[in-house]
Chain A
Amino acid sequence: MAKVPVQFTLNGSEKAEFIDSGTTLLNALRDKIGDTSPKGGCHQGTCGACSVIIDGELRLSCLMLAETCNGATITTTSGLAVGGVLHPLQRAFLDTFATQCGFCTPGMIMAAKVLLDHTPNPSREDVVEALSGNICRCTGYEPIIRAVLAAARANPQNAA
């Protein structure tokens, strides 16, 4: 099978690999680059566990070919904590007990991050809308919604 070069920025570092043409970004990240924080829950774009941020937009990495991401800037949940300090969303998920099995968590955090990047002070409806592409089977969603709202409240810019 033909190998194709891919090169992109992942969580601030340059990555370059030769991959089989047709490899999804999810598989390239997990199997070639070793970032297993995006999860493969369905490989058909219906669960959101593989969500990553590409050039500021939320994307399902299981539905993207890695070779279409050349030159892109990609963020995954494993890259959110800087210098060992958790991102406010990660902190909020911890503090409000919003994780159970944890399998959907990285995708949820990605979806929530894109929301807060665009809408720093979201309404509950905004949060619901932002999470509506991500499946969770453990929590019943309410704790995750609350975690995202708590993270937004923790942002000093949102202080009244």
Chain B
Amino acid sequence: MAIRRGRGVAAINYPTGMNLGGDPTQALVHSTPTGNFMVTLSSVDLGQGMKQIMAQICAETIGVPTDRVVVDTADTDTGPHCMGTFASRGTHRAGNAVIQAAREARQVMLEVAAEELEVNASDLETDGQGNILVKGAPQKSISIFDVALSAHFKRGRSISGRGMFLIPRSYPEKETGAMKPSTCYAHACTVAEVEVDDETGEVTVLTVKNVFEIGRALNPKMVEQQLVGGSWMGISHALYETTEPYYPNRDHGGTDFNQYLMPGPGDLAETEIIVLERPSADGPYGAKGPGEMCANPQMPAVANAVFDAVGVRIDTLPITPERILRALKAQAN
């Protein structure tokens, strides 16, 4: 009887969005009289940080600091349509809609600034700090604060824009299954290192090294949040979680957090996260959806590491001590 070590690898890809259902999201952007920007949506923030990311996307597109942008979302009386937050679609779909709306608003903003500065709008650029400058002659400038005041009280212009992003529905061809399930894919590769106690069947995940390719890390700290939490959930799925421990028997399902098992703060694997960025052709600033795929590669990587450690294949999730011991017993016979 011994503690045995093993390691395993898995590599995966993941589609962004819900192409097979048709996938629209809309956004509106407008300026307040003093040059702050409101993004209006009906998208839902589940905790992943949708509001913050939409603010950064709007700010980047208009050319202002993020703290000049406020996101008002998920009120059906005011927010235009969004399919919802699922299928890793939020950042990609809503982000594209926000970019389109923000571009239209930016164009009006530049036109008003051009009238104030008596130049062509095409000769203007933003400095990212809240000012509009004449290209090549930065001493000739106007603040966005003053441009918004002018638009509202002098020029009678609405600095606003409408955004729409739609992936049309792909209908699978009946006989061949020809279809377009996604326009972009995120990627991952995970190496997991485990210890297996061949007496108790208990698995300890020592380390997980995750490499994720997500198009563009729009806010690296928030990407890290998703990926660390996702990696934890993947390990949790691999070893612990089910509502029906004797599936397909329905009995003995957990009803609280004492019965439904997940790793606690004392059960964490040492987790390393590396991010690669290959911008997607149709993503907002190249982003893909990272939220779901980050929890997928740990399950097979852990299963493969268990095999590497003790030489038994557990092909049924979760990989419980009971399953490992039964497999070891069968192998010994």
Contact = CB atoms under 8 A, between A and B. Distances in A.
| Chain A in direct contact with chain B (Cβ < 8 angstroms) | yes
Interface of A: 42, 44, 46-47, 97, 100-103, 127-129, 131-132, 135, 137-145
B46 A101 contact: yes
Contacts of A135: 257, 262
Given A100-B48, A102-B47, A131-B265, A143 B258 contact: no
Given A46-B258, A101-B46, A140 B233 contact: yes
Contacts of A102: 47
Interface residues of B, number: 24
Given A46-B256, A97-B222, A128 B228 contact: no
Nearest to A135: B257
Contacts of B47: 100-103, 138
B79 interface: no
Nearest to B258: A46
Nearest to B264: A132
A46 B260 CA distance: 10
B222 A141 contact: no
B217 to A, nearest CB: 13
A139 B233 CA distance: 9
A139 B268 CA distance: 12
A97 B225 contact: yes
Contacts of A140: 228-233, 268, 271
Given A140-B231, A141-B265, 7 more contacts: A97-B224, A100-B225, A128-B265, A138-B225, A140-B271, A142-B271, A145-B265
A139 B266 contact: no
Contacts of B264: 132, 141
A133 to B, nearest CB: 9
B279 interface: no
B232 A97 contact: no
Given A101-B46, A128-B266, A139 B257 contact: no
Contacts of B268: 140-142
Contacts of A137: 233, 262
26 contacts: A46-B256, A46-B257, A46-B258, A100-B47, A100-B49, A100-B225, A101-B46, A127-B265, A128-B265, A128-B266, A129-B266, A132-B266, A138-B225, A139-B225, A140-B228, A140-B230, A140-B233, A140-B268, A141-B264, A141-B265, A141-B268, A142-B268, A143-B225, A143-B228, A144-B265, A145-B265
B37 to A, nearest CB: 24
Contacts of B266: 128-129, 132
Interface string B219-257: 001101100111111000000000000000000000011
Given A46-B256, A129-B266, A132-B264, A139 B221 contact: no
A144 B268 CA distance: 12
Contact of A141 (B221, B230, B232, B257): B232
B221 to A, nearest CB: 5
Contacts of B265: 127-128, 131-132, 141, 144-145
B181 to A, nearest CB: 27
Contacts of A129: 266
A145 to B, nearest CB: 6
B268 to A, nearest CB: 6
Contacts of B228: 139-140, 142-143
Interface string B274-297: 000000000000000000000000
Contact of B229 (A42, A44, A138, A145): A138
Contacts of A46: 256-258
Interface string B296-327: 00000000000000000000000000000000
Nearest to B271: A142
Nearest to A148: B265
Contacts of A103: 47
A147 to B, nearest CB: 12
Residue among A42, A102, A131, A137 having the largest count of chain B Cβ atoms under 10 Å: A137
Interface in B1-51: 46-49
Contacts of A131: 265
A115 B224 CA distance: 27
**CB-CB nearest 6 A-B residue pairs:** A101-B47, A140-B232, A46-B257, A141-B265, A100-B47, A140-B229
Nearest to B227: A140
